[in-house]
Chains A and B, each alone.
Chain A
């Protein structure tokens, strides 16, 4: 692994922007053959964007991109596949209607005589791949209904079957149990020993130090440093990743905690979550932590009434809320900011004023008519309070940055003057500067006596913001930690506990 040999992948100062948001400022990465290279950084540091540039999903705006020493420019994912690059994305991308085998081979099926696809050969190869991975999965069953871990296994089988010279894994272990992770690592090591190059993205440092020989750190869309694993330590890496005081990022001000606002008792939805009980008090921010797919969002959706549940009760201010009725939840004083705000929370074609006013229409309408004037009057104070940077309230929500969109969604719900705010991934896809504004806002709202239930996959965000952390694992609450006890280790332990027991 000397610097003189030609690296499999070399990126120099690669940049990529999406409209006004700079996702990648100057990404650099140099991956040698026969090496497992870790790419670490906070969420939003630009790792996933970097991966998508290499995969051909995004075209870079600038910088050099060399594969095996040759400059390349991928226009689509099929270009990158042809060049021998396989990518396992953070969230599995499968075809639910098709069989597991078809998911592995789609687009490059084994063809026999007369260009006829050879199912028998593919089933055999799929079984071989699963055998090599040490899993027992029926290649004939449809992908629909598989657990995230099983879906991840399919992604890995797919990548291996590509016979790629460069394999990129974007947080492949997030939803895997201990045994499954070990199996994945064994496969990764054998691929390395075959002389392939691997890039491994993970937030779990023990895994990074266990598996990888080289570590590259990114921060705020830029390259920071590359180290040999044996020459560095995890505190040193963390210092480089963060590059600033964590405390400044999450300006949590202590609030007076009052009587319970939300009480959830024995909530259950078969196959999704079980026996979920918790309370959120006035002025309290409760963080709902856990791995992707653990059931956090599903619990929130059931509490708000978007989805149904089989058993249990939800009470707000002591009054029981009818199940499966978001309207009843809103009327009782609940507000819900969903994870995917573009799809669920915001009418991106409509003006800011209309979006903000949309949930309080009933109160604004005069004789059944809704005027733009009334909407603007109602929206004005809320948008002002949240410092939504739009030139005018009639600007379309679509053209705003992620941070401002999020503020519009929050403003929309604050206009209903809720007692409880449920917010799912409040800062996903938001640049670092705006993040702290969203955090300050949540902290202020709690200070005014609002109860807040915050779902977040960003551990620092949960630990920084929450007065209490509930950890969800496989549809159950496995820990209820007060702020003082909520360490990253304690949360991660609770989030993976059952999985490891089961494995």
Chain B
């Protein structure tokens, strides 16, 4: 490869730094390089969309953000979806998908109620532990089926979506868990706030930070990306693909289990229909947040902002006086827009890279 100085376009103009950057070592300072990375990131652009939506809705109606309820809802409403999106993002990064999270969440939500009713002395921490474990086991079943039977995860988790939901339906029947069945300490957890930030949100943020940190800084975290980027190459690299895929599904299941408990704490009532369809919202949050549906790229930070954006838009549109039909359509437009944007950017980059290569040879 020739040195990058003096690379010219056919029309004689000097190639811009960003184009040369694609092949040659970067000459930018670390700080500027970091700034460029952040500025170009998908996370920043959807974060700006989120800010814009919030600002517009608040200008229209001050109580959207600046009222006790508005402030609380802004934080607490996306928290459960955010947790599911974090789990989903990890699964999608490995080029899989987990459609069973809504059913897992329903199972542990009902399990939470039953534990409080049937085992009155059980400490709240134990209930959390049992439900997270139950979710992890259900995730393990998904993971085993995907990793060992070589069937696409879309099909496997579509199956377990119905199976797990069937278990809830036959177990709960028409029975409901009501707030009266639950200890007041537990219900308080769903409403408590620290420095005006709801506890549920703090839990969600803590999980997000832990998973995000792991994905970025741990060997295991990077292997998720490698597997999603090219599963065959991952095998040649000697990565333990099965174990990683299994781990992704266990994490997704465990987080869905946690969401079940938090749902019960927040709403106080649980029926067998809890969480129907939320798996698609989780996938939507992940895709809007910039995680490529074919794996290998994206971050849980993006997925989390995606979850915030979807929930906030849904809350903002009615207050902006937009019809019900359009409220749903907006989510659809966001998803399609995100995918089309990804495609366009990928094509543009591929073309740039090919041209940059031609200029250097």
Q: Is A81 in contact with B358, judged by CB distance below 8 angstroms?
A: no
Q: Report the minimal beta-carbon distance from B7 to chain A, rounded to whole angstroms.
A: 12
Q: Is A115 in contact with B239, judged by CB distance below 8 angstroms?
A: no
Cα A106 to Cα B306 with chains together (Å): 29
Q: Is B233 in contact with A95, judged by CB distance below 8 angstroms?
A: yes
Binds B, one of A12-20, A96-104, A375-383, A424-432: A96-104
| Interface assignment of A502: CB less than 8 Å from any CB of chain B | yes
Set A145, A270, A499: member contacting B349, Cβ < 8 A: A145
Q: Is A144 in contact with B238, judged by CB distance below 8 angstroms?
A: no
Question: What DSSP secondary structure best describes chain A's contact surface?
Answer: loop
User: A145 — nearest CB in chain B belongs to which residue?
Assistant: B353
Cα A242 to Cα B24 with chains together (Å): 44
Which residues of chain B from 193 to 235 have any CB-CB distance to chain A below 8 Å in the complex?
Answer: 217-219, 222-223, 225-226, 228-230, 232-235
Set A127, A139, A145, A502: member contacting B354, Cβ < 8 A: A145
Q: Is B355 in contact with A136, judged by CB distance below 8 angstroms?
A: no
Q: Is A270 in contact with B355, judged by CB distance below 8 angstroms?
A: yes
Which residues of B are found within 8 Å of A141, using beta-carbon distances? Answer: 21-23
Q: Report the minimal beta-carbon distance from A291 to chain B, rounded to whole angstroms.
A: 14
Assuming the contacts A115-B218, A116-B217, asked whether A93 and B230 have C-beta atoms less than 8 A apart, the reply is: yes
Q: Is A144 in contact with B353, judged by CB distance below 8 angstroms?
A: yes
Cα A139 to Cα B194 with chains together (Å): 44
| Interface assignment of A117: CB less than 8 Å from any CB of chain B | yes
Q: Is A135 in contact with B1, judged by CB distance below 8 angstroms?
A: yes
Assuming the contacts A95-B229, A116-B218, asked whether A136 and B24 have C-beta atoms less than 8 A apart, the reply is: yes
The bracket for how many chain A residues form the interface is 35 or more
Which residues of chain B from 1 to 51 have any CB-CB distance to chain A below 8 Å in the complex?
Answer: 1, 3-4, 21-26, 33
Which residues of chain B from 111 to 161 have any CB-CB distance to chain A below 8 Å in the complex?
Answer: none
Q: Report the minimal beta-carbon distance from A441 to chain B, rounded to whole angstroms.
A: 32
Set B4, B218, B222, B230: member contacting A96, Cβ < 8 A: B230
Cα A293 to Cα B59 with chains together (Å): 57
Which residues of chain A from 108 to 142 have any CB-CB distance to chain B below 8 Å in the complex?
Answer: 108-109, 111, 115-117, 127, 135-141
Q: Is B355 in contact with A97, judged by CB distance below 8 angstroms?
A: no
Q: Is A77 in contact with B354, judged by CB distance below 8 angstroms?
A: no
Cα A346 to Cα B300 with chains together (Å): 39
Q: Report the minimal beta-carbon distance from B164 to chain A, rounded to whole angstroms.
A: 30
| Interface assignment of A271: CB less than 8 Å from any CB of chain B | yes
Question: What DSSP secondary structure best describes chain B's contact surface?
Answer: helix
Q: Is B230 in contact with A272, judged by CB distance below 8 angstroms?
A: no
Which residues of A are found within 8 Å of B353, using beta-carbon distances? Answer: 144-146, 271
Interface size on B, residues (CB 8 A): 41
| Interface assignment of A147: CB less than 8 Å from any CB of chain B | yes
Which residues of B are found within 8 Å of A234, using beta-carbon distances? Answer: none
Q: Report the minimal beta-carbon distance from B160 to chain A, rounded to whole angstroms.
A: 25
Q: Is B354 in contact with A271, judged by CB distance below 8 angstroms?
A: yes
Q: Is A94 in contact with B230, judged by CB distance below 8 angstroms?
A: yes
Cα A57 to Cα B238 with chains together (Å): 9
Q: Is B233 in contact with A93, judged by CB distance below 8 angstroms?
A: yes
Cα A116 to Cα B25 with chains together (Å): 25
Q: Is A107 in contact with B350, judged by CB distance below 8 angstroms?
A: no
Q: Is A271 in contact with B358, judged by CB distance below 8 angstroms?
A: yes
| Interface assignment of B60: CB less than 8 Å from any CB of chain A | no
Assuming the contacts A107-B223, A141-B22, asked whether A94 and B350 have C-beta atoms less than 8 A apart, the reply is: no
| Interface assignment of B176: CB less than 8 Å from any CB of chain A | no
Which residues of A are found within 8 Å of B229, using beta-carbon distances? Answer: 95-98
Which residues of A are found within 8 Å of B3, using beta-carbon distances? Answer: 136
Q: Is A95 in contact with B351, judged by CB distance below 8 angstroms?
A: no
Q: Report the minimal beta-carbon distance from A84 to chain B, rounded to whole angstroms.
A: 13
Assuming the contacts A78-B238, A89-B236, A107-B237, asked whether A97 and B357 have C-beta atoms less than 8 A apart, the reply is: no
Assuming the contacts A97-B297, A145-B350, asked whether A271 and B222 have C-beta atoms less than 8 A apart, the reply is: no
Known contacts A147-B357, A271-B357; 12 additional CB pairs below 8 A are A57-B235, A79-B238, A95-B229, A96-B229, A106-B239, A107-B226, A117-B219, A140-B26, A141-B23, A146-B357, A271-B351, A502-B361
